[in-house]
A = this chain, B = another copy of it.
Amino acid sequence: MIPFDIQLRPGRPVSEQVVFAVKRAVAKGVLRPGDAFPSVRSLGKDLRINPNTAQKIVAALTQEGVLEIEPGIGARVANPRHTHVAEKEQRLREQLEVALIEARLLGMDSERIRALMDEISQNLNPEEDHDRNSED
């Protein structure tokens, strides 16, 4: 079972969407370091996607440091290792620049943009309400 829902939207690569969904789950705390991650097989079955694609997803997440593979055991969510920080921060800057430019072309001023950021940020936060079990 996957502890989060993935809504595939047509028009973009499936693998990309799933990778992002996992990242979001980790960012929100729905998935936490140490949590088991579905095997390639069950992932493909659950999401109704090509096993080939499932394999690629796990590989990508591993490569980015989000997952860790224990050969013969399975995959689990990795401790934050902040790998490839430099290049990731570079990509992040670009993403933010793209978003900011689009926002401006939409006629938003800085205040409006900041408010939007805060709103999205808070939507990302609420992993605090339901019960938790901490063992870090």
A83 and B92 contact, CB distance less than 8 A: no
B124 and A27 contact, CB distance less than 8 A: no
A107 and B80 contact, CB distance less than 8 A: yes
Residues of B contacting A64 in the complex (Cβ-Cβ under 8 angstroms): 105
Residue A45 at the chain B interface, CB threshold 8 Å: no
Binding site for B on A (CB under 8 A): 10-14, 20, 23-24, 26-27, 62, 64, 66, 68-72, 78, 80, 82-89, 91-93, 95-107, 110, 113-114, 116-117, 120-121, 123-124
Oligomer copy total? 4
**B80, B106, B124: the one within 8 Å of A97 (CB):** B124
- With A27-B104, A88-B106, A104-B124 already in contact, 5 other A-B pairs whose C-beta atoms are closer than 8 Å: A64-B105, A66-B105, A85-B86, A96-B120, A101-B124
